[in-house]
A and B are shown apart, each in its own frame.
Chain A
Amino acid sequence: MAREVSKGRKAAVTALAWGIGLLIFFPILWTVLTSFKTEAEAIASPPSFLFFDWTLENYETVNERSDYLVHFWNSVVIALGSTLVGLLVAVPAAWSMAFVPGKRTKDVLMWMLSTKMMPAVGVLVPIYLLARDTGLLDTKLGLVIVLTLVNLPIIVWMLYTYFKEIPGEILEAARMDGASLSSEILYVLTPMAVPGIASTLLLNVILAWNESFWTLNLTAANAAPLTAFIASYSSPEGLFYAKLSAASTMAIAPILILGWFSQKQLVRGLTFGAVK
């Protein structure tokens, strides 16, 4: 039976939750609002919240000065590319760790996770030199490779947890039914793990889209994704808040829309197994 909650308490908790939610959302909202202000209004004190002259001039300037579509396309290729390559490696890896674990499987998993605990800057110089020497600096391929490696531990871990939930008897049944290892993975395991694979894919696209350390350090002009596009507006000769905000809004809009439409899938995927 549900616990009884008084109306006042319910209202207070609701207000508090909304308050916290808005507080967290406020910087994004402020960025979007600032993007519609003139540069003067953007730095005005006290700032005006809604009552200013709404203008699209920042968007026009940003589009004139840089090619949004090129950066957008770079982001798409890098985010999707690194996630898909990662999945191709991670599905068989997670399969073997979940269904035919060895003595050291747990250690391997922990080791993979431990690589995420090291600050990325610790390996910046070697990776930069490797990329330079192999001609992968400022190429989409180079970033796909680096981001695949960076996100692989998370992809493997997520898939491993989903695969663990799948009863082994079903895979054994497939084996009895004459399925080879590849058909077992392709026709039985993968379709059953679709919710898990989908949320892994979504989360990693988002992570790769937002990744700004490697994308800023390993690109210049050719392969620069939207993160570099935003950064190019925080110029040293004075901050153009309004233009920076417009660029930011344009950069986060696609992933925000993707996240909005897939939020159900994401939540389901992330709580898979916890609340069956």
Chain B
Amino acid sequence: MGEIVLSQVKKSFGGVSIIQGIDLRIADGEFVVFVGPSGCGKSTLLRLIAGLEDVSSGNISIDGRDATDLPPARRGLAMVFQSYALYPHMSVRKNIAFPLRMAGVPAAEQERKVEAAARVLNLTPYLDRKPSQLSGGQRQRVAIGRAIVREPAAFLFDEPLSNLDAALRVSMRQEISELHQSLKTTMIYVTHDQVEAMTMADKIVVLNAGRIEQVGSPLELYRRPANLFVAGFIGSPKMNFIEGAEAAKHGAHTLGIRPEHIDIAAAGPWKGRVGLCEHLGSDTFLKVDVEGVGQINVRASGEVALAFGDTVGLAPQPDKLHRFDEAGNAAT
């Protein structure tokens, strides 16, 4: 079981408020991703849940039990750190067994659990190596192994993939997702990478300046962003924001349209000249200077044969327009 409830959690460091009153309920077995720009407080929030930092006010309960003042060891959570934080003087086997040893588990059972975890994570051939003899991906798997042997109520991941190269990141991302499928344990995952957030999460929590901007499933956030911040943060390339007369025409202060929701059509309402044109093979990213609207990013198919300086007509898909009021909130 691993239900985690935060109520009015606040944290400040020497007068600087980092987390400003967070209410959040994480259901048992859920994969929740905290995402936001650097300095938004997502790692701090994770460390508050872990117990590595004390809350300034508010409550954290784990499985219905008040855990606000419990030390990290007694919260029943396991954490995987960005730097892996393996014990460099211990073999892989001893690293994975360490939490069991601390819990006073008998040696035979420790051995059995370590072997089982190593099998799941493909670490069996490396059990007697030291962390320094492993690659980045293997180290990350050892860190995960050390977390799973404890059978924790929830796993906490603090940007676990940011030290890996791009290819390894994709495969580790899938491994973690598969691990979640098979263990069905609550996972809280912190990242600044929205692709990780979109692909892994059951629920995304978008944080900004110590506040929750929006909570929802990846597609909810993509389709119905609650405000300009979420609209701009989720989705790549970024959503186009248009202000002024064109927005007013649609009854909004700011009009948002994603690059993939703009069609190239000679008869379209927007006319412009192509600036930068990036051919990725599968897609083509265009920057178009539209008269009276401004620069618009367009994601077109890979077949589009446009080049710098061409004149083009654009047609935004009317049902995919996002309207925001003056305060930046989505107009309902």
Contact = CB atoms under 8 A, between A and B. Distances in A.
B89 interface: yes
Contacts of B82: 169
A179 interface: yes
B73 A173 contact: no
A183 B102 contact: yes
Interface string A190-212: 01101000000000000000000
Contact of B52 (A167, A176, A177, A192): A176
Contacts of B216: none
Given A172-B52, A191-B89, A192-B89, A177 B83 contact: no
A182 to B, nearest CB: 11
A273 to B, nearest CB: 15
Contacts of B222: none
B232 interface: no
A170 B73 contact: no
Interface residues of A, number: 18
Nearest to B81: A169
Nearest to B52: A172
Interface in B29-65: 50, 52
A183 B102 CA distance: 8
Nearest to A167: B83
A188 B90 CA distance: 9
Contacts of A179: 73, 98, 102
A175 interface: yes
Interface in B86-132: 86-90, 98-99, 102-103
Q: Which one of A177, A183, A191 has the highest number of Cβ atoms from chain B below 10 Å of its Cβ?
A: A177
A101 to B, nearest CB: 13
A229 to B, nearest CB: 41
B71 interface: yes
Given A172-B52, A177-B98, A188 B87 contact: yes
Contacts of A180: 73, 102
Nearest to A188: B87
B87 A175 contact: no
A177 B102 contact: yes
A170 B143 CA distance: 11
A169 B72 contact: no
A119 interface: no
B79 A176 contact: yes
A115 B142 CA distance: 46
A170 B71 CA distance: 16
Contacts of A169: 81-83, 85
Given A170-B86, A170-B87, A175-B72, 8 more contacts: A169-B83, A172-B81, A174-B87, A176-B78, A177-B98, A177-B146, A178-B73, A178-B103
Interface of B: 50, 52, 71-73, 77-79, 81-83, 85-90, 98-99, 102-103, 146, 150
28 contacts: A169-B81, A169-B82, A169-B83, A170-B85, A170-B86, A170-B87, A172-B52, A172-B72, A172-B79, A172-B81, A173-B81, A173-B86, A174-B87, A175-B52, A175-B71, A175-B72, A176-B50, A176-B77, A176-B79, A177-B99, A178-B150, A179-B98, A179-B102, A180-B73, A191-B87, A191-B90, A192-B87, A192-B89
